[in-house]
A and B are shown apart, each in its own frame.
Chain A
């Protein structure tokens, strides 16, 4: 039983989740959209990088640099063409749109790439690790991912707090109608938010693909962990997403230490516990009664 190793790995795993969850958090925080296709978009990024590494012979990291601007553009177009309309049509309609997107992407990927499993080369750092002691080993690649996740989060945080776009984003997220009344183009803001979200998804996808194998249907599998990270950390908070990812990762690795089969279960139980405790604390005892009448 090595708890320290487990906790360290859990923290690193948290970084992986946080990277994937960032885009989800952004879209839900700003637009209240639950993007069911987020995992699929990450996967698209991985496949795109795959194409570049296989056919252009470049390193994965170089491919990543090429993938990002494409992902930004894709996200922008996605919002402007599909999600914007869905959002205006109703709160639940984006669920349908993103679900449709998920299925279309998965099936098209299968058609073009076959159901084979692939993996992206991660270079020498991919297999290197730091043997701290006889019981503690830290894989450098996961440290890299955590670093990237923190870098992205810091970047986004700076964007949100120091730039005009960031202010417009926060204002639109708080009150889109009033934001329009002071001159903010809400639709343009949304489009840029989605662009960023899809770009971070693609980034996460490429790193995931370097870390483990992927196939056309790998999209939704990690999605639940990403969602858990967002919700644990508190919707709308970027740092919360990192914290949520870490809480989840540690819960999972510690659970796995107790019994390998408890990996996911431990994470889920911690998720539910955090949620309920928070909801009860926020809602207070007011909701315990079956009848709700307004107090003066």
Chain B
């Protein structure tokens, strides 16, 4: 029996090639945004970028690694406070501080991984939440960082840059961070490690029995998510300039995790495009509905419930399944004889 010659495994399809090209074009366009768009648009885009960053990182952990973390806000907080510490107390250039802070966050995630990756399932989820609370408390005990009543980096930025410059540079920082994370994740998923990660997510035991390095895969994802969420934290700080006091809207607050859960599950867990879509949805809701006060929250919650009930694979997940559509070539397609 001979195999039909038109069968095979392909990575790219015409659709994905076309879409990736369009996406590359869009990315280039967005890079020039400060020259093309006004202040309002730039502010909005920055917010969108950090939401995207958070969404794809949470998805990397939960959707690809099977690690549900309700505590990534630990890194967001580290990112924000580290920038304040470096730029205010040590007079470092704030954008340089953002880079160093991001690396610091990634560094912190390594020993943290050795503690928390022993945990499974619900214990891991709650464990990460507790870790975030521990970080929040430790920082609040440090009077030089504001002692839990909040702090700001206003001076660090405004002494060096005009508001227009700050907006522009912050925009580029956010843009580069978000784009870098997308590219890293894309390459990771296309690599051998990426394939093994998806195997781990589907069935850890089976994957291990095939020689897949389970712990290594999870470590890589955890550190990447640490880096990414820290970077998002630095962007948030650069954008809002101040850190609110500890409380429900805290930089270490559970609200961030809630947003990540919303974005990823509404967009489509485990897909590449889904979290981005989810971030856009949340961003639109935040921008246009948040003035409705109580009803914003009700609407947010109602959307979450409705999506969970009727589109459990998320918006993108449902589309992907229905139309067998992959816009970005992160997977393999087996093509049978036509």
User: Footprint of B on A, CB under 8 Å?
Assistant: 28, 32, 34, 36, 82, 85-86, 89-90, 92-97, 99-108, 110-111, 217, 220, 224, 227-228, 231, 235, 261, 264-265, 268-269, 271-272, 275-276, 279-280, 283, 287, 289-294
Contacts and interface: CB of A to CB of B under 8 A. Distances in A.
Given A287-B215, A292-B213, A264 B133 contact: yes
B281 to A, nearest CB: 13
A290 B216 contact: yes
Contacts of B212: 292
Nearest to B135: A268
A108 B298 contact: yes
A107 B134 CA distance: 28
B297 A107 contact: yes
Contacts, number: 156
Nearest 3 CB-CB pairings of A with B: A89-B312, A100-B304, A107-B297
Given A107-B298, A294-B209, A100 B308 contact: yes
Residue from B140, B211, B305 having most chain A Cβ neighbours under 10 A: B305
A264 B265 CA distance: 31
Residue from B125, B266, B300, B304 having most chain A Cβ neighbours under 10 A: B304
Interface stretch (B31-39, B115-123, B164-172, B233-241): B115-123
Interface in B299-318: 300-305, 307-309, 312-313
Interface in B213-260: 213-216, 248, 254, 258
B308 A93 contact: yes
Contacts of B211: 291, 293
A227 B133 CA distance: 13
Given A261-B141, A280-B118, A287-B118, A107 B305 contact: no
Given A86-B309, A92-B269, A100 B301 contact: yes
Contacts of A280: 118
Nearest to A107: B297
Interface residues of B, number: 53
Contact of A231 (B122, B303, B308, B309): B122
B180 interface: no
Contacts of A291: 211, 213, 216
Residue from B125, B127, B208, B269 having most chain A Cβ neighbours under 10 A: B127
A103 B282 CA distance: 14
25 contacts: A32-B122, A36-B258, A86-B309, A93-B265, A94-B308, A95-B261, A96-B265, A96-B304, A96-B305, A99-B258, A99-B261, A99-B262, A104-B298, A104-B301, A107-B297, A110-B294, A217-B248, A228-B130, A235-B123, A261-B141, A269-B134, A271-B127, A272-B130, A275-B123, A293-B209
Contacts of B137: 261, 264-265, 268
A100 B305 contact: yes
